[in-house]
Amino acid sequence: MKAVVAAAVAVLLSAQAAPSTVLIKAARVIDGQSDRVIAPGAILVRDDQIVQVGSAIASPQDARVIDLGDATITPGLIDLHTHLTDREDLHWEDVLVKTTPGQAALAGARNARVTLLAGFTTCRDMGPTWPYVDVDLRGAIDSGMVPGPRLAVAGNYVSATGGAGDARQFSIYVDVPIVQNLADSADEVVKAVRTNFKHGADFIKILVTGAVLSKGLPPGAQQYSEEEIRAAVTEARRWGREVAAHAHGIDGIKAAIRAGVRTVDHGSYLDDEAVGMLKSARSTFFVPTLYTTAAIDETGADRGIPAAEIERSRQIRQVKESAFRRALAAGVPIGFGTDAAVIPHGRNAREFGERVRLGESPMRAIQSATRINAEILGWSDRIGTLEPGKLADIIAVSGNPLSDISAMERVRFVMKGGQIHRLEGTGF
Ligand SMILES: [Zn+2]
């Protein structure tokens, strides 16, 4: 027993006080950039940066050597659509009347850690229900107070009154005046964008159509005009920032692409014309969230999702899957997102299996969650590939994901910015 405790303490110490030079070896390296597999593979890390990637790297005298055996090293994974401060067991429309921002912050700390240990070293967080809790979570992670992915945060997502992001699904005699995320004209949208950036948001999330998990209009219905979306994009660009659009219905998708949003998230009803628009725009990307359907089907009822919303999810399954196949066939770059907490936090890598099942090659799926996502975020200079000079965001999974994509769910090693957070399945 004592020996076990001593071993656990040793792991904890090594996780906190990593030596400045680390040589990581494994059976394979996928670098996120090229289609080649380096086998065997090795990566040399000094402080927070990658120094060398190759097959045979001589170990410097001062290096700590970590040999992961039959594992595959990839860049740290990126999820472009999370809600880290949301809980899986509570419908988001109940959050304002049944919980506190403090609870959301604590849940966020827990979920950030779980997500990091699942190999996701960066997330674009699409917003809390209690505004700006994600800004505080980002600050706590950046300062080292709690472990978690690098975050880009939405702050306070922008919705039409009665729209997909209007959480006030309760009696008209009840209000939560502190929460102000509704905007109903181009002018109000501009005000909402400025308020978001004033309070620390990195980008704007705008809900341009109905949603699956909502009592409002169905997912196919458009809720913001092109003019209103364009107002958000124009103002965000003045701040040097981008807009992410929640969009299921095709009219909303096209309005969002024409208005110049960075991402069309979910994109369930994407048609050939919209794919053509993405192809020629080149600056707008499709971020599907495919595993949500199975997750809602399997666990939705236990998690308090109303039957009508589970039915909404089932109804768009086919259309969602053909949207993904359509984008894949057209060869447009596709981003990678999950919508956790709609799926359980920490199971983000299940999305890989859905994508491969629908025809994407494992290599393309891994590149989507690494290099392409980094490009979409505008963070390619720092993360997304394993190259000298990039931040040492490195993970390893057991076995070979190119022959069995579920390997992406068996994470053995997580390093973020040179700091080891997981080694051989042992977390903090
Ligand atoms: Zn979402």
pLDDT tens per residue, range 133-175? 999 999 999 999 999 999 999 999 999 999 998 888 888 998 8
The pTM for the full model equals: 0.93
33 C-alpha vs ligand 1 centroid, how far in Å?
28
The model's pLDDT over 318-340, given as tens digits with 9 standing for 90+, comes to: 999 999 999 999 999 999 999 99
16 C-alpha vs ligand 1 centroid, how far in Å?
33
Confidence label for 308 from pLDDT (cuts 50, 70 and 90): confident
167 C-alpha vs ligand 1 centroid, how far in Å?
13
Give the mean pLDDT of the chain.
92
5 C-alpha vs ligand 1 centroid, how far in Å?
41
81 C-alpha vs ligand 1 centroid, how far in Å?
6
28 C-alpha vs ligand 1 centroid, how far in Å?
34
82 C-alpha vs ligand 1 centroid, how far in Å?
6
84 C-alpha vs ligand 1 centroid, how far in Å?
10
152 C-alpha vs ligand 1 centroid, how far in Å?
14
% of the chain surpassing 70 pLDDT: 95
57 C-alpha vs ligand 1 centroid, how far in Å?
42
Across 57-61, 97-101, 103-107, which has the greatest mean pLDDT?
103-107
217 C-alpha vs ligand 1 centroid, how far in Å?
16
392 C-alpha vs ligand 1 centroid, how far in Å?
28
Q: What is the pLDDT of residue 9?
A: 43
196 C-alpha vs ligand 1 centroid, how far in Å?
18
Q: Are strands 419-423 and 411-416 parallel, antiparallel or unpaired?
A: antiparallel
266 C-alpha vs ligand 1 centroid, how far in Å?
8
